[in-house]
Structure 1
Amino acid sequence: MIRVLIADDEALVRAGLRMILEAAGDMAVVGEACDGDEAVGAAARLRPHVVLMDVRMPGTDGLSAAARVLAAPEAPKVIMLTTFDLDDHVHEALRLGAVGFLLKDTPPRDLAAAVRTVAEGQAMLSPTVIKRLIGSFVDRAPSRAESARGRLAALTAREEDVVRAVARGLSNAEIGRELGLTEATVKAHVSRVLAKLGLANRVQAAILVHDAGLG
């Protein structure tokens, strides 16, 4: 069973998320938190596999709480719950190591699929939504592009092909079909890319590609 902790200051939102996840059959909501401090404590105590963390909560907000949760040994995966008007916060959360984000109106089937994807160790990338978020930062910070391109220059041509595909939200299997590689080979390329660039996950790789203006 996938152990999930829900952190949101709205009781109705928590109840709705719990109902959706527990109906999936392979997930158990092991706890709830209504603010950031409570979320940090619950994550340490309950040891969930995945934390759904609202960005905006009273007291310690979701961003600060996510940073503390992710800094702990054997940290759970963190997915931020957000809306489009919080782009700045989501971008920072992804840089801290959160592996994705969901809009609060995400369809139930997509919510469950996202939690499964993250629990399996993959980043949850939405090809349409995440590009909108990341693209806004490329537009606002052109000086970041030069630095990002310099970092990507360390990659081989094949590694750059792979990381560009990652930035488009493709899975390893989809990248393999597009580039004529086995899924295992793609997985190895992704691991080498992350190691070379000093990145924690595929989301951070996608951000770097978009920062460079290559996505």
Structure 2
Amino acid sequence: MTKLSVNINKIATLRNARGGNMPNLLTVASDIEEFGAQGITIHPRPDERHIRYNDARALKSIVKTEYNIEGNPNKKFIDLVLEVKPTQVTLVPDAVDAITSNAGWDTIKNFDFLKDVVSTFKQNGIRTSIFVDPSSEIIENAAKIGTDRIELYTESYAHSFAHAKSEIEKYNAVKLFTEAAKTATKVGLGINAGHDLSLDNIKFFKDNVPNLLEVSIGHALICESLYFGLENVINMYLNKLN
């Protein structure tokens, strides 16, 4: 079964909008696990506009499933991850002013940097994942870096799938990811995926991407929960992933 890790950044955004503690991020994280999700993901950014660094620390004692911290590995981020020691760290090359992640790592140009960062985290017992586009060359270099997993950046799939008019076009939307997953498996990497995955497109993606271990979903899941409720939506995802 592919695990569902729920990104709770949008819960923090809602909380921060009024300056108080409603909704309570820690309570929501516990509820999400109680509803059946197998992981919690956060993506703190330097300006702490949603998840705060203190949230990352507080969640450590709350999360009972898998705890995944995403982010650009600057010094502040690296220090936070080494302090918190989550289950997994996902390295994402987002700019300081990025609204959301918009590209995967170039594991060729950034080989030495990523190798050092990955080595540091692995020496501290933290599973590592590198956010990448569905490119065989990029994935093969990720394996040489020494990461445990990759996370496939799925925005292009979601966009193409939403505009697909036929089954052939749906398969065209996912074929690069199918091949990327085969490459990752061949070079011994675990496979995660995330970005713009939703109830509309998740099942087709899961059915056509072999050995998919985990998906991280936040924005769409929270939006869908406005209509169907958080517990219902989590179980809808679990049914599609099972």
TM-score normalized by the length of structure 1: 0.36
Structure with higher RCO (Cα < 8 A, 6+ apart): 2
